[in-house]
Amino acid sequence: MKSTLVTYFPPKVQKQLLENQKNIQGKPYEKYFNPEMEVPVDLIKAIQFGPQAAEKTFPPTPENLNRLYADLDNFPNAYYGAADDGENGLTTFNICRHFFPGVTVKMMQWWFTWHVLEKERYSIWFPYAHLANTVVYPERMTNPDLSYEEKLYGNPNHIVEYIGNHLMDAVIHFTDPTQLGLDKALLEKQNLTFSASGWSHSYDTPEVPNALMLHIGRDVEGGFELYTCYFIGAHTVLSQYSGISGGGERGVAGMKSAGITREFMEDNSYEMAVHDITEFTRLGSILPQLYAEFGPK
């Protein structure tokens, strides 16, 4: 797929790049830190002609998610917009498909357990926008007796990163995708053996789940297919996904009292789409060599 240079980085993230550039000096993986970022032309062009019309969007209910992942041939290249579900909530509407030549499920799983041990590792993923990512139980990540799932699930990631011009300070709870509405049988049928999916909340408000993110993928001929979704905002279904009773409802009430508009959500959704395309394109491009050098021998 033809790629093109990313032409826009807000001044705040440019300053972060210079900071990250200093911090990474001397790290053994320093050469993977590259400020010249690229994105696939097809994906970036798919989000340059306005947000998805309201009638083409949908909220993150289990029914909708299973319908989306049941038809991977028609999984959109890249969508952004806002999903307005009335009294039930309002979220961003982000869907994107990626293909990474030479990458495997194994490499992706390794990445999600390897990068969290040093913030400089996290920074090579998106040199301009990534500040820090730490987990509650780092020792699990290097324990050879634990599976990928045992390392990642129940081990919250505290991430600090710029999404567009906005500094996000959040906690992601990675968990089994079946806890996030997806059918086990469907995932098996589609051979979707990779997942780094979860729900999240702002660092300061653990009682209000405010996002669902799905990073689900599979090995295919020649590489790895990744199917991502982000629904950021407020929705009652987030109570179910997070297991926090009344949490989604608190989000909906808070959003209503703050007067959050559809347009605000579309802006956030666009920034999230640009971020997703930029960071995963970078990860896909460095992962085979990075894994060969630093992965398990």
Under the rule (CB under 8 A), what is the footprint of its own copies?
A: 4-12, 14-15, 17-18, 35, 39, 41, 44, 48-51, 80, 165, 263, 266-267, 270, 274
Q: How far is the CB of 289 from its own copies (least distance, A)?
A: 24
Considering beta carbons, is residue 183 or 267 the nearer one to its own copies? 267
Contact 244, 3 (CB under 8 A): no
Contact 177, 28 (CB under 8 A): no
Q: How far is the CB of 278 from its own copies (least distance, A)?
A: 9
The string of DSSP letters for 233-293 reads EEETHHHHHHT-TTHHHHHHHHHHHHT--HHHHHHHHHHHHHHHHHHHHHHHHHHHHHHHH
* CA dist., res. 93 & res. 59, Å (int): 8
Q: How far is the CB of 267 from its own copies (least distance, A)?
A: 6
Q: How far is the CB of 4 from its own copies (least distance, A)?
A: 5
How many residues appear in the chain? 297
Q: How far is the CB of 14 from its own copies (least distance, A)?
A: 5
Considering beta carbons, is residue 50 or 154 the nearer one to its own copies? 50
Half-sphere exposure of 200 (CA within 13 A, CB side): 21
Residue from 128, 212, 140 nearest 170 by CA:
212
Considering beta carbons, is residue 18 or 253 the nearer one to its own copies? 18
Considering beta carbons, is residue 41 or 220 the nearer one to its own copies? 41
* CA dist., res. 104 & res. 156, Å (int): 24
Considering beta carbons, is residue 41 or 185 the nearer one to its own copies? 41
* CA dist., res. 230 & res. 271, Å (int): 12
Considering beta carbons, is residue 8 or 145 the nearer one to its own copies? 8
User: Dihedral of CA 152/156/162/164: which sign?
Assistant: positive
Q: How far is the CB of 84 from its own copies (least distance, A)?
A: 15
Residue from 237, 136, 228, 218 nearest 180 by CA:
237
* CA dist., res. 43 & res. 76, Å (int): 10
Considering beta carbons, is residue 15 or 67 the nearer one to its own copies? 15
Q: How far is the CB of 277 from its own copies (least distance, A)?
A: 9
User: Dihedral of CA 9/196/75/232: which sign?
Assistant: negative
Q: How far is the CB of 109 from its own copies (least distance, A)?
A: 30
At which residue do the structure tokens 């590792």 appear? 121
Considering beta carbons, is residue 229 or 277 the nearer one to its own copies? 277
